[in-house]
Amino acid sequence: MPRPEASAFVKTSMTAPDGYFAWEATGLRWLAAVTDGARVAPVLGVEPNRLLLERVSHAAPSRTAAEAFGRDLARTHAAGAPAYGVGPDGWEGHGWLGPATDLLPLLLGSYDRWGEMYAELRLLPIATEGERRGALTGEDVRDVERLAQRLRDDDGDLDTGEPPARLHGDLWSGNLLWSPDGVVLVDPAAHAGHRETDLAMLQMFGSPQLATVLAAYDEAAPLADGWRSRVALHQTYPLLLHAAVFGGTYVGQAMDAVRRYL
C-alpha cells in the first residue's frame, strides 16, 4: 500500500517482480503524455523496489468531475498506439497485471486486429494459467478456446474494427482517485487495446458517478452500436484472471461471460 512521505506517496512491495515499478511508471508517463487527456498521478521517481508519486488530495466524487473525466478519458483513448497489444513507448518485454501479492504476466505483442490480440495475448494464456492452478476444468479451457477462435474469425460482430486505443489497462474504481481538481488515475497496466475494454473494467465492480462518466464519454466519442452487449466480452479476461488468482465465485462469473459469446 502507498504510504505518505513528505509531498509524495511511496509505493513499495517486497513481492513485486523485478521491473514492476518501472513498468508502472512507464505506463503513467505514456498516459500523461496525452494533451488534455485523463489526469494521472505524476511520477516523482522510480527505483527497483519502490515508486514515488505526487500526493493526491481526496474529494467527494461529483457529477462535474465525472463528466470531465469521461471526456478526458475519450481523449486518452483517441491518442492511440501503433498496433493492438503494444506496450507504452519506451517499454520492452511484457508487463504485469493482478493483485500486488500475485502479479501475472500481461503479454504484449503487435496485432492488426483486436480480436486476434485478445484471443492470443489475453484469453488463451489466462485459461492455461487458470487450469494450471486448478481453478478451471478442461471443459472450461475448451470453451475459452472456442471463444478465442470466434474472435480470430470474427466478421465484425464482436470486433468493431476501431483503431487501437491507449488504455489504462486496469481501470477499476480503486484506481480512480477523486481529487478537488478532478479524477486522477493510478496503478495502470497501460497498453494498446480496444477502448471498450477500459470502460468494461470500470463497470465490473461499479464506480461512483459511473452513469455520468459513460454518458460524457459517449457524447465526446460515440461508442459503436451494441457496445453494451459487448461489456461482458471485454470483462472475460479480468474475470478469468480473478478466477485464476482467487477462485471461488469468480470461476462461475468468468465462464458465464465466456459462454455468452459462444
Q: What pLDDT, on a 0 to 100 scale, did the predictor assign at position 178?
A: 98
The pTM score is: 0.95
Overall average pLDDT of the 137-142 stretch: 98
Question: Which of these, 96, 118, 99, 83, lies nearest to 189 by C-alpha position?
Answer: 96
Q: What pLDDT, on a 0 to 100 scale, did the predictor assign at position 166?
A: 98
More confident residue, 101 or 217: 217
Average pLDDT of the chain? Answer: 95
Q: What pLDDT, on a 0 to 100 scale, did the predictor assign at position 4?
A: 44
Residue tagged 476501431 (cell numbers): 162
**Distance separating alpha carbons of residues 91 and 190, to the nearest angstrom:** 10
Overall average pLDDT of the 232-238 stretch: 98
Residue tagged 474504481 (cell numbers): 173
Q: For residue 172, is pLDDT > 70?
A: yes
pLDDT band at 157 (very low <50, low <70, confident <90, very high): confident
Per DSSP, helices labelled H in 79-163 are 114-117, 124-132, 138-153
Q: What pLDDT, on a 0 to 100 scale, did the predictor assign at position 112?
A: 97
Q: For residue 81, is pLDDT > 60?
A: yes
Q: Which of helix, strand or coil describes residue 140?
A: helix
Q: For residue 1, is pLDDT > 80?
A: no
Domain boundaries, the chain: 61-260
Question: Which of these, 51, 41, 170, lies nearest to 106 by C-alpha position?
Answer: 170
Q: What pLDDT, on a 0 to 100 scale, did the predictor assign at position 6?
A: 53
CB 113 within 8 A of CB 195: no
Q: What pLDDT, on a 0 to 100 scale, did the predictor assign at position 3?
A: 45
> Is domain 61-260 annotated with CATH 3.40.50.300?
no
**Distance separating alpha carbons of residues 15 and 49, to the nearest angstrom:** 9
Q: For residue 2, is pLDDT > 70?
A: no
